[in-house]
Amino acid sequence: MAKVIVYPPTSMILYDLVERMGHKALVVSEAVRNLVTASGIESPPLNVTPEEPKKGLRYAAVDVPSGVRGRMALVGPIIEEAEAAIIVEDPGWLTGCSGCSRTNELVRLLIRTKGIPVLDLSYPTNDDEAKVFVQKIRTFLEGLK
Amino acid sequence: MLVTKYVITSSESNILPSDIAMKIYGSKYIVTVKETCFGVVINGEEEVINALVKEIRALDPAGIFIKDRGFPPGDPRRCRGRRGGGARPGFYMIESESKMLPMISRALAYEGIVPVIPKKKKPLPIKRLEEILKNGLS
């Protein structure tokens, strides 16, 4: 079972396909869960403290907006943990914690420079593309240890 | 550790969110269930949820999709009932991907030969355009 990071890191389709094929999908919700369900909330309501942007300094410089560093505090450790990656380019509707374009660029860059196997895809627009989409993911995941 | 998962049904699936909720109510597992328009949200111990997810998926293997969620169900920080209405932030991603679920379901159920898709035409590279212009004007 390999740890596979998916991009967008909030994707339902990618999370499901990775998990149903027997691997562990690394998604941002796990990091969010650790933050929002931690006992002894320091900074209500979301428990994002000044420590989060500091953690983000590991991935982005101090002059980078704190929003990028804050997001990287969640996504960065997931990238470090990843053993493979599936990237779906330009879905056109990234929202929430995936809604920052600069963070997304940085996430994709860090994944690509990590040297792990990466599968690049686009979201399907018809049935034939969907079959290819699923088959490529299946083949890629079967090739992982 | 308590975990939360979404169970989302494809719009072409014969399984309704209420069917999944009834299946969970009738199961031996002690979990929290919240029924929504697109599926259900379940919350419980990780081992219990993993076992339950396998049973739910068996109802319609190609038509039921699972997604991890950070916030517990009904959390006042996300629940629209407490925030004065409007969809919660993560809903838009689910809404967008839900439109693709019927296609993905059919692709998962398909066992034939996968068709070859012709490559999409890319814009003419600038160097090639320059060559054409030079040849045409000389």
For A97, which DSSP code?
A: G
A39: CB partners within 8 A, 6+ apart? none
A10 located within any domain: yes
- Please report residues of B whose CB lies closer than 8 A to that of A95: 89-90, 92-93
Q: For the residues B110-124, what does the mean pLDDT come to?
A: 86
A145 located within any domain: no
Residues of A engaging B, defined by a Cβ cutoff of 8 Å:
8, 10-13, 15-17, 19-20, 25, 27-33, 35-37, 45-46, 91, 93-96, 98, 123-124, 126-135
pLDDT given for residue A97 in this prediction? 64
Report all structural domains of chain B as residue ranges with CATH numbers, in order of start: 2-109 (3.30.70)
Report whether pLDDT(B42) > 70.
Answer: yes
pLDDT given for residue A95 in this prediction? 64
Range of the domain at A84: 3-140
- How far is residue B25's CA from residue B31's CA, in Å, rounded to a whole number? 9
A129 located within any domain: yes
Q: For the residues B4-24, what does the mean pLDDT come to?
A: 93
Task: Provide the sign of the torsion angle of the four alpha carbons B81, B85, B88, B89, taken in this order.
Answer: negative
The ipTM, to two decimals, is: 0.87
Q: In the sheet that A118-121 helps form, which strands lie side by side, from edge to edge? A: A24-26, A3-7, A84-88, A118-121
Domain count of the fold of chain A: 1
Give the nearest chain A residue to B3 (CA atoms): A33
A105 located within any domain: yes
pLDDT given for residue A116 in this prediction? 95
pLDDT in tens, A61-87: 989 888 888 889 889 999 999 999 999
- Please report residues of A whose CB lies closer than 8 A to that of B66: 15-16, 19-20
pLDDT by 10s per residue, chain A, length 145: 899 999 888 899 999 999 999 999 999 888 888 888 877 777 767 777 888 778 889 999 989 888 888 889 889 999 999 999 999 987 777 766 677 888 889 999 999 999 999 999 999 999 999 999 999 999 999 999 7
Residue with tokens 């599968």: A119
A41 located within any domain: yes
